Structures are given as structure tokens and as C-alpha cells.
Amino acid sequence: MVSNVPNFIILAATSTSPSVEQSVQNFILIFLSILWEALPFIVLGALIAGILEELVPQQLVSKFIPRSRTLAIMIGGLLGILFPMCECGIIPVMRRLLRKGVPLSCCVAYLLAGPIINGVVMLSTFAAFYGQQNALNSSGQPAYQIGGLGMMSLRMFFGYLVAMGTSFIVEWQYRKHGSKLLAPLAVADTEKGQTKDGGIGLTDEPPKTWFQKISNISETALHDFVDITVFLILGALLAAGSRQLLSHDTVEALSRDKPVLAIGMMMGLAIVLCLCSEADAFVAASFVSLRPASKLAFLVLGPMLDFKLFGMYTRIFRQRLIWTIITSVVIQVLIYSLIFHFVWEGYGKYHWWSGTVPALNSPKGGG
């Protein structure tokens, strides 16, 4: 049935030129691939959010939060190891955690560091950069790139640092402005004068039947799913459009031999591409001629900020907090990348580089 439906857009496009048709196809392919890859994880996150909202009492949540806010933030940044979720799935869960009274700064720490500091991303980063320390430049000399273990460690370290720095800034902002930083749906029930006991009889509410609980879970889950997916779609459309202007080759051509510019361009590319943190390492690794610092900037910034995330942030945070987070993340990534670049190029590659110059072997054949 699908193949027989007239393809109006493509019929119209081919009447202009094949390159226009291919550009439209590329745009739609990129847009839908970002969407359908993220969608199952948003469904999962929304379902977890519904269960959290309905079944987990606030009193239970507050038992697990350390009294020391500093410790709570530091632990929040490491929660991705226990609860690995991609950044799309974390958003609906985080909104419900905020409603349950989890401190905003802890949630932000998990939001920023969770998509980087988890087993899946650590493995994929290691695999993507495995062996890159032995890469050669076009003259056959060592390129002084960083291999899998080094890149994985640096990504985790700088990701955690950026998340901590931003979370402490958010904590300071929260002490000044309180829940005005949050969208209404994310404000804790205690601040609204409402409490939920998760149906376990701690208040005077009549006990709910199982059907009522499941009904409430489905209503919350679908509401969150709709609310967040709309902005995922808008972000993916923006990403697909931007790819027509800023491509892999454009960035490489513009920033070859200009390492400081490369850092900025790779940060821009990270925002535009809207890749999941499991796959972005392979994309970064494919920029063979760029210096390690620019790839590191791409790897740290991408899971924290891109077009689709920006759209989804508007469902939890108000503009003041969104721009606080964006400014903090971007400035920190830029500064740390620049520092790392000068340290590596000036000292590190001569003392810490672990590669070897491979001998030119007979061809092994095959792929």
C-alpha cells in the first residue's frame, strides 16, 4: 500500500532538478532518522515518569538525597553509571523527579553528565577511537592523535567537570530565584501545596484501584510523551536543515590547520548534528585531520546541548535557567578545550603520546 501512494513531494522536486530531489531526500532522511532513533527512548522515559509520578511517594525520594547539597550534586553527576539513559529519555524522568522534590541542581547534574558518564557511551567512545594514536598524517608521519582509552577518560573527566560547574551555578541561581526558574509542570508538588503519596495510604486520600493507578500512569506518560516529542520534532527539523549548510567536509576544510577555529566549529557542529551520545564518538573519530581538543569539545558539548535538547529544555526550565545552563556549558567547554589543546600540543604529545609508527605491511586483503 505504501509504495503505491503517489509521492507528491518527490514528483514536484524531480520536475526541478535531481540535486533538489536529493537534497529534499537527504533532509527528510536526516530528520526522520534522528526522530525514530530517539522516539523509543522518549516512550521509555515517559513511562518511567508516569510510574514515578503515580507510585513513588515524595517521602521515599527525599530519604535517598544526601543532606549535603555538594555531595548530592556530585552523586547526581555519577547516576548515569547506575541508570544509563540517553539524553532524550532523561528529560521526562527528570521533570517528574523535580516534582517529587529532588533538588534542581542534582537533576541538572544528572541531566548533563548522565548521557556521558555511563557504560554504553564509555564503551562506544573507546571503540570509536581505538587505535587512533597510531594514525599518520598525509606525509606519513605520526599525527599525535589520542587513542580509545585516553579519549574515553578525557571525555568522562571534562564532562563531569562541566556538569559540576554548571550544577553549582544552577544551585546558586535557585537560592536566588527559587521555583521561578522552572516551568509550571516541573515545580515540586510541595511548593504548590499539593502532595501525593503514591497511593500507599500516607495521606487521607482514598486508596486507588489498580485501574485508576494504571489509568493515571498512562495519562501522565502520554502527556509527557506528547509534550516532549513535539520539541524533539522541531529540533530534528532544525538539525536536518542546518546539515544542508554545515557538513562534515565543510568543517574539516574550514578548520584544517586552524586548531582554535576547529574547536569552535566542532562545538557548532555538535549543536547542529543532534546525535545521540552512543554514536557521536564515531562521527568525531572520522575527522581524521582535526586535533584532539576539537574532537573532545564535540564529544563533551553534544550530549549537553543541541537543537533537540534545547527544545526539550523548554518543557522543564524557564528561559533564565535555560540560558544560564547554555552559557555555563558553552563557556566551560570552550575554556577546557583550549587549555587542553595548548597543554597537549605544547607538552603532552611529546611526553604522553602512546602511539607507535606502524611498519608498511603487505596488504592483508579484505574490507
Partner 1 sequence: MGHTHEHKDNTYYIEQLCTIGVCAALGIVGVMLWRSTTIKPGEPAGAGTGMIDLMLNPNFHLPVLLGGITLVILILVRALAVWSSVRQTAHHHDHEHEHEHDHDHTHDHEHGGAGCSEHEHEHSHEHEHAEAASHSHEHGHEHSAAFWRYAVLLLPVVLYFLNLPNKTFSAAYFGASMDVGDLGTETFAAPKASGDATEFGLTELKEGAPGADFRKEYQGKAGKLKGQFTPMNNRVFTLMKTKMNCCAADAIAVKSEVAIVAPQGGVGPIQDMEWIEVEGTIQFREKPDEPGAFMPILQVPSKDKIRKIPPQPF
Residue 164 vs 232, nearer CB to partner 1: 232
CB nearer partner 1, residue 64 or residue 141: 141
What is the full DSSP assignment across 258-290? -HHHHHHHHHHHHHHH---TTTHHHHHHT-TTS
- Grid coordinates standing for 341? 589543546
Q: Which three cell numbers stand for residue 342?
A: 595548548
In the bound state with partner 1, the residue whose beta carbon lies nearer, of 127 and 260, is: 127
Q: Report the 10 Å Cβ neighbour count for 209.
A: 10
Q: Which CB, 72 or 273, lies closer to partner 1?
A: 273
Instruction: Write down the least CB distance from residue 323 to partner 1, Å.
Output: 22
Nearest approach, Cβ of 303 to partner 1 (angstroms)? Answer: 13
The β-bridge partners of 142 are 136
CA-to-CA distance for 294 and 263, rounded, in angstroms?
Answer: 4
Tell me the closest approach of the beta carbon of residue 4 to partner 1, in angstroms. Answer: 9
CB 159 within 8 A of CB 136: no
The secondary structure of residue 140, as a DSSP letter, is S
CB of 290 to partner 1, least distance (A): 14
Distance CA 141, CA 129 (A): 19
Phi-psi region of 198 (alpha: psi -120 to 50; beta: other; left: phi over 0): left
Q: Is 346 or 363 the residue whose CB approaches partner 1 more closely?
A: 363
Phi, psi dihedral angles at 355 (to 5 degrees): -80, 170
| Distance from C-alpha of 67 to C-alpha of 324, rounded to nearest angstrom | 25
- Least CB distance from residue 325 to partner 1, whole Å? 23
**Residue 48: CB minimum distance to partner 1, A:** 11
Shorter beta-carbon distance to partner 1: residue 171 or 252 = 252
C-beta of 346 vs 365, nearer to partner 1? 365
Rounded Cα distance between 251 and 63, Å, is 49
The partner residues of 118 in beta bridges, in order of sequence, read none
Residue 297 C-beta: closest distance to partner 1, Å: 17
Cβ-based nearer residue to partner 1, 248 or 320: 248
> What is the Cα–Cα distance from 52 to 49, expressed in whole angstroms?
5
- Residue 226: CB minimum distance to partner 1, A: 6
Helix, strand, or coil here: 119?
Answer: helix
CA dist., res. 69 & res. 187, Å (int): 19
Calpha distance 143→249 (Å, rounded): 19
Query: What span, in angstroms and rounded, lies between the C-alpha atoms of 208 and 214?
Result: 10
Q: Extract the C-alpha cell encoding 56.
A: 513513588
Least Å distance, CB 129 to partner 1, is 13
- Closer to partner 1 at the Cβ: 74 or 90? 90
